[in-house]
Structure 1
């Protein structure tokens, strides 16, 4: 267990308790955000030259899982916000200094989806748009978001050119009424609004260079961590936190079933059918965890040895990651259906784990269609094109 994992485990009871309040507030409590900040989890993938830990991605994933098992929303914010320092390592050193210069614990929100348009101007771009699903945004001082480059009339260029851009908190508004949802409520994944903000060129990065691995090389980042494939590192925090949620649901279920007696008077411990279902669900969740971590370790070893992680390997890795998420949530459904009516009570954590698991599965990174298509086509000797290469 790493140092960050050990530090966060000390707060497990407090994080669980604050999860109830975060669900009501529809954002992390200030106390939960401070615990994450103090533990160093958001600095795990941050470069050492800016106060980061440069941890192995496996350690990052295991930490996100552990936090997700305590509280889904807290784990989710850890996993998503925790990836952004990895990419900031590729930005112009001036941008890195602006974000981390005074405080290496400065957080950045997202999303990467190019929901806004950046119009070129002298020295940079003028950005406008509205972005949804900015997890943890109330506790972030900067945002790293996707933008499509446009012409002078604000129309997106074709073929599209996508940038990842950095904005300080003063350059965007948070729509506080935009997040009222059924699951992952405590993530506070609200909408961001930008109205004609100037983005200097040094705060922009060509998204294509991040995806294909050119960006770290141009930034002079030779460490294995920063040459790790984007298509593995970006989904990692998200899916790891989701698997952690499934593990939390299983632990909650086991705790509730130990002394439970059914309406027929049978102890759960004596019901072979329920025991089988619990065992099967536990095995599926464990398999999801193992699959994610095996991919991370294998990709790390390839990258560390100077070998390229091929498109086929990346596609299969994404298939493994996506399938792991679906497998874990299906397992949660199996145990929730056997938890009895008491699990429906809003005062129990079981219902929140169940809601959070389904909300997490709806993230775009867990949509299996094109990923399964691309991995199969590649293994058959084909060459996926267009959208079928996205996020691989």
Structure 2
């Protein structure tokens, strides 16, 4: 075990910003090959991106969610897939910190260890002496090809108890990777499927999922750290919004870079920026991105603030965290749609990043935990005095 000097938020954002040219250079390669370029992964590791949620005693930074958001925004300005993989890595890394300290000793023994994971209980576990046997398949495992461990969810069904969901940590070498990721958006994330066949998982690497969802850690050492004492879903929500903001700001950047030299074909406008329609579109899109940033900042401030003062989470606050995430996703999609529709026919060429940004944003909107309609319905349900109809809150 070791400690290391922890860089400031400004330093980590600067490092992420310096990666933008390299990540943009590999963005089309990642899109075509359906996984991140190894040079991009190595650059993220060298910049300390994978250490942002690792405890300081293992050489990590224990960054708050505002830092995650700002760093992911810079990465998202470069490439949505790269930022998505980094953000998704932070979530199971945080989840690993819920496990007993001896399990963390094993996981974090690997420098710049990378974890992937899921919240879907698409496998079954059967109890055996010393642990469980798991069989099943998990989809949408972003960054699996670059990871060392996967956090899995399974339904434990034993003869003497009601079935319930468990969370476990398994080495990637114990899983089969199925390369089935061929999609219209976030193609570079390599979000393949993984399979467990008669996989034995020892008891110490298993936790009850409802406990983790409530932020109840089995780690005694991490109990005093503000970032490890929050419910899982607000943490996951706040960890994800930066990628979306970055995609929106990249669309804004691409649009205004091309604007002065673009004519509006079959009109008298020699420059698109002279058209009143463009003025309305630009103002509308940028305002939506500003609104998205408000919801992202409020979400991060709430997660970080409650971590510091250790105040309990009210049900409405937890639902609003999901709603803030949904608002960021919806508003950014609306802004990107405006920029994309105003970018003309030439923007469909792969050399113009706008088409990839639009595809990526639409893919994010389809994610089960980020979908704006699902999150808004959940918030409205709680506001109306009803109990949530999901564990994932």
Fold conserved between structures, TM > 0.5: yes
Q: Give the distance between the partners of 2:356 and 2:315, measured in 1 at CA.
A: 37
Q: Give the distance between the partners of 1:46 and 1:26, measured in 2 at CA.
A: 27
SS at structure 2 position matched to 1:346: coil
Q: Give the distance between the partners of 2:220 and 2:319, measured in 1 at CA.
A: 25
CA contact (8 A) 1:116 1:130 kept: yes
Q: Does 1:61 align with 2:64?
A: no
CA contact (8 A) 2:151 2:169 kept: yes
Deviations 1:108-162 (A, max 9, x none): 111121111111100000011111001011100111111111237xxxx75x411
The equivalent position to 2:168 in structure 1, one of 165, 169, 178, is: 165
Q: Give the distance between the partners of 2:250 and 2:92, measured in 1 at CA.
A: 25
Runs of 4 or more consecutive aligned structure 1 residues displaced over 3 Å after TM superposition: 216-220, 368-371
Equivalent residue number for residue 136 of structure 2: 129
Q: Does 1:143 align with 2:159?
A: no
Q: Give the distance between the partners of 1:56 and 1:105, measured in 2 at CA.
A: 18
Question: Deviation of residue 197 (structure 1)?
Answer: 0.8
Q: Give the distance between the partners of 1:8 and 1:301, measured in 2 at CA.
A: 24
For residues 3-152 of structure 1, the aligned pairs below 5 Å read 3-101=11-109, 103-151=110-158
Question: Deviation of residue 292 (structure 1)?
Answer: 1.0
Q: Does 1:283 align with 2:282?
A: no
Q: Give the distance between the partners of 2:325 and 2:381, measured in 1 at CA.
A: 18
Question: Deviation of residue 216 (structure 1)?
Answer: 5.9
CA contact (8 A) 1:52 1:104 kept: no
Question: Deviation of residue 231 (structure 1)?
Answer: 1.6
Q: Give the distance between the partners of 1:167 and 1:299, measured in 2 at CA.
A: 28
Q: Give the distance between the partners of 1:290 and 1:30, measured in 2 at CA.
A: 34
Equivalent residue number for residue 330 of structure 2: 326
Q: Give the distance between the partners of 2:222 and 2:42, measured in 1 at CA.
A: 32
Q: Aligned in 2, Cα 1:47/1:270: closer, same or farther, shift over 3 Å?
A: same
Q: Aligned in 2, Cα 1:167/1:217: closer, same or farther, shift over 3 Å?
A: closer
Question: Deviation of residue 218 (structure 1)?
Answer: 6.0
Deviations 1:14-44 (A, max 9, x none): 1101011111110000000111111111211
Q: Give the distance between the partners of 1:168 and 1:221, measured in 2 at CA.
A: 25
Equivalent residue number for residue 390 of structure 1: 391
Question: Deviation of residue 269 (structure 1)?
Answer: 1.7
Q: Give the distance between the partners of 1:169 and 1:238, measured in 2 at CA.
A: 23
5+ residue gaps, structure 1 = none
Question: Deviation of residue 46 (structure 1)?
Answer: 1.3
